[in-house]
Structure 1
Amino acid sequence: MSLIQLLELPIFGDGRGDLVSIEAEKHIPFQIKRVYCLFNLGEHSRGMHAHRQLQQLAFCVHGSCRFVLDDGVTREDVVLSAPTKGLLIGNLIWREMHDFTDDCVIMVLASEYFMESDYLRDYAAFIDAIRSKTA
């Protein structure tokens, strides 16, 4: 089973332009409790963590970047480059973001409010959390 779950977000358009609409529990499988954007990313990589419970939908509003997802066994890459393609990231998935274009803007919809204790920022702790979940 692939770690990459791309959602085709509905686009509505006419001669005046296009609009993407995302509704909680209709287009994504969770209620949205937090929204944030990443921009002015430069050459630095981002992410390098997993979450114990939080789920996310990430998409590039502008520009592009490469996501790496890892479940402790498999690593997969995907490039996001359109506001109509959303990457669904479940809990206990290590995520990294790389190769940002200068104009990259990433929007993330999250299932939970920010809680530092939900973060797994050390890869070894992430692997331990996966093992304890399956034990």
Structure 2
Amino acid sequence: MANIIDLKTFTDSRGNLTVVEKVIPFDIKRVFYIYGVDDSVRGKHRHKKTLQAAISIQGSCRIMNQSGTGQPYQEFTLDSPSKCLIINPEDYHWMDRFSKDCILMVFASEFYDAGDYIFEPYEQ
């Protein structure tokens, strides 16, 4: 089941510094970011192996998540660079409601593999 972790942030008169260190529950093999999104929905899949950690480093978006057949959808709003959503392989998810300035950065536990994707949603 997906969950939010709060990233350690240091704030002073010079601004903010957020640290991603010793909080991601996997070794990072790939980093990608999504930006410039219109009214489209992204994602709509789950994985066989890949864990992900998503951070909106600018702007905001919504991530909907379902962890299995019969499970209710969870709704997460990523609207701060100090929030990190951990998405497990079994989590069917999609991202929408991107603000015009949103930059969604994602850390992944695996290198890209088209065979790792499952596009069928769970039954309700």
TM-score calculated relative to the size of structure 2: 0.91
Q: Aligned equivalents of 1:114 and 1:20: distance in 2?
A: 27
Structure ranking higher in strand proportion: 2
Show the counterpart of 2:111: 113
SS in 2 for 1:44: coil
Query: 2:39 matched to 1:43?
Result: yes
How far apart are residue 15 of structure 1 and its match?
1.9
Show the counterpart of 1:28: 24
4+ long deviations beyond 4 Å: none
In structure 1, runs of 5+ residues without a counterpart are 128-135
Equivalences for 1:33-112 in 2 at 5 Å? Answer: 33-72=29-68, 73-74=70-71, 75-112=73-110
Question: 105-114 vs 66-75, which deviates more?
Answer: 66-75
How far apart are residue 10 of structure 1 and its match?
0.8
Answer with 1 or 2: which has the greater Rg. Answer: 1
Query: How many residue pairs get matched?
Result: 121
CA-to-partner distance for each residue in 1:60-116, whole Å, 9 max, x for gaps?
011111110011222111111000000000111101111111111100011111111
Amino acid corresponding to residue 66 of structure 2 in structure 1: D
Greater RCO (Cα-Cα under 8 Å, separation 6 or more): 2
Amino acid corresponding to residue 108 of structure 2 in structure 1: A
Q: Aligned equivalents of 1:43 and 1:60: distance in 2?
A: 17
Amino acid corresponding to residue 113 of structure 2 in structure 1: M
Retained in 2: the 8 A contact 1:58–1:109? yes
In structure 2, runs of 5+ residues without a counterpart are none
Q: Aligned equivalents of 1:53 and 1:21: distance in 2?
A: 26
Identity %: 35
